[in-house]
């Protein structure tokens, strides 16, 4: 046999071998997807019990268990703004049996805010879908002179450094939304950080600090009772809960920020399992009872595909990196 013949034969055998291996791989994947899940799934929530993310996560977990005919165990691992539980979860096997339900403050803001978060939001996790988002609303005490967004912008711009806004703490979402408003609108407000949402809102309701960004679910009753005045919402569009209150980006292009809640698998999870989870959650989100429950919580529904969620996460990381830098916020 000539050298050319040997090489040609070796090439044919190599191609045949690769084809067989590829076919075996896809066959194994198909079998894997068909059998998934064959054991309980763990959903890690790296925030404390009782918050919006925890409530939404448990709702989705219960529905997943019903749809997949397999138990879904929810485990809270709070600490360091979500970093501890997220870092612990990244080393789980990439087999679809460990999921992460978290918020963008942990996945998109913390990597710029903390010196070492212990995980890479892009490399360590695979996005499945965004379940929904909680808008923030710019609120003021009823005694505040400005009654509309236009009046608010004009007043703050004419009085740089005079007015203060409260937040739940340095580097929190409601701090960074204030910093974004300063940056995008050319304003200058003084940031007053508190140790948590509750003490911050007590002082805003009391008029000691007249301005704040607050999650819509936490502020809605006070707005309806006239204890707070809504100036604008932080989402791209107006909220159905406050249809007469403008989205801030109607006046300030590029201003956008909400608290989204998203489901991730571990990086390297087979695509067919990710697709199955996405399809299942999509069915769940179409249920009227689920939609009503989320609406009652003030959560606006999102229907991101895994690819759309991946793009959203990358965009958010870049956006918040810039805002954190401008604000000077850091947490060691």
- Give Dmax (Cα) for the chain: 96
Residues 274, 280, 283, 288: what is their CA dihedral angle, to the nearest 10 degrees? -120
Is-contact 230 242, C-beta < 8 A?
yes
Query: What is the topology classification, in CATH, of domain 135-250?
Result: D-Maltodextrin-Binding Protein; domain 2 (3.40.190)
What does pLDDT average to in each consecutive run of 10 residues of the chain (332 residues)?
47 47 44 82 94 92 97 95 95 97 95 94 97 94 97 97 94 94 96 91 96 92 96 93 95 92 97 96 96 89 93 95 91 76
**Shortest CA distance to 275 belongs to which of 323, 307, 298?**
307
Express the helix, strand and coil content of the chain in percent, nearest 5 each: 50, 20, 30
CA distance 175 to 209: 14
Q: Which residues, in sequence order, are CB contacts of 57 under 8 Å at separation 6+?
A: 43, 45, 74, 101, 261
Q: Which CATH superfamily is domain 39-134+259-327 in?
A: Bordetella uptake gene, domain 1 (3.40.190.150)
Residue 1: what pLDDT?
52
**Shortest CA distance to 38 belongs to which of 217, 279, 280, 273?**
273
Residue 39: what pLDDT?
97
Q: How many CA atoms lie within 13 A of 59 on its CB side?
A: 23
Matching CATH topology for 39-134+259-327 and 135-250?
Answer: yes
Residue spans of the domains in the chain: they are 39-134+259-327, 135-250
Alpha helices in the chain (DSSP H): 3-35, 52-68, 83-89, 104, 110-113, 149-158, 173-185, 197-206, 216-224, 271-285, 288-296, 306-327
Burial of 176 (0-12, 13-18, 19+ CB in 10 A): buried
Q: What is the DSSP letter of 123?
A: T
Pairing of strands 300-301, 125-140: antiparallel
Q: What is the pTM of this model?
A: 0.83
Residue 32: what pLDDT?
65
């Amino acid at each position: 046999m000539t050298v050319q013949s040997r090489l040609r034969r070796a090439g044919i055998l190599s191609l045949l071998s690769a084809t067989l291996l590829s076919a075996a791989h896809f066959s194994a994947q198909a079998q894997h997807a068909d059998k998934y899940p064959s054991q309980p799934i763990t959903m890690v929530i790296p925030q404390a019990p009782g918050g919006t993310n925890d409530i939404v996560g448990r709702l989705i977990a219960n529905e997943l268990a019903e749809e997949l005919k397999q138990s879904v165990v929810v485990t809270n691992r709070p600490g360091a703004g979500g970093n501890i539980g997220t870092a612990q979860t990244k080393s789980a096997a990439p087999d679809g049996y460990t999921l992460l339900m978290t918020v963008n403050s942990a996945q998109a803001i913390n990597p710029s805010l903390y010196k070492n978060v212990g995980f890479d939001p892009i490399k360590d996790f695979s996005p499945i879908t965004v379940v929904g988002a909680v808008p923030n609303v710019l609120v003021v005490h009823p005694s505040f002179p400005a009654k509309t967004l236009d009046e608010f912008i004009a007043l703050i711009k004419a009085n740089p450094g005079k007015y203060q806004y409260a937040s739940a703490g340095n580097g929190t979402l409601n701090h960074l939304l204030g910093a974004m408003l300063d940056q995008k609108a050319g304003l200058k407000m003084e940031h007053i950080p508190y140790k948590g949402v509750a003490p911050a809102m007590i002082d805003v309701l009391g008029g000691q600090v007249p301005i704040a960004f607050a999650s819509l679910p936490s502020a809605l009753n006070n707005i309806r009772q006239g204890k707070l005045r809504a100036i604008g919402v932080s989402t791209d569009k107006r909220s159905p809960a406050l249809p007469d209150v403008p989205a801030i980006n109607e006046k300030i292009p590029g201003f956008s920020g909400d608290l989204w809640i998203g489901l991730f698998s571990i990086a390297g999870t087979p695509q067919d399992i990710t697709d199955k989870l996405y399809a299942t959650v999509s069915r769940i989100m179409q249920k009227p009872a689920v939609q009503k429950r989320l609406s009652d919580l003030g959560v606006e529904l999102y229907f991101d595909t895994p690819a759309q969620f991946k793009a959203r996460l990358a965009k958010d990381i870049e956006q918040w990196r810039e805002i954190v830098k401008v604000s000077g916020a850091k947490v060691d």
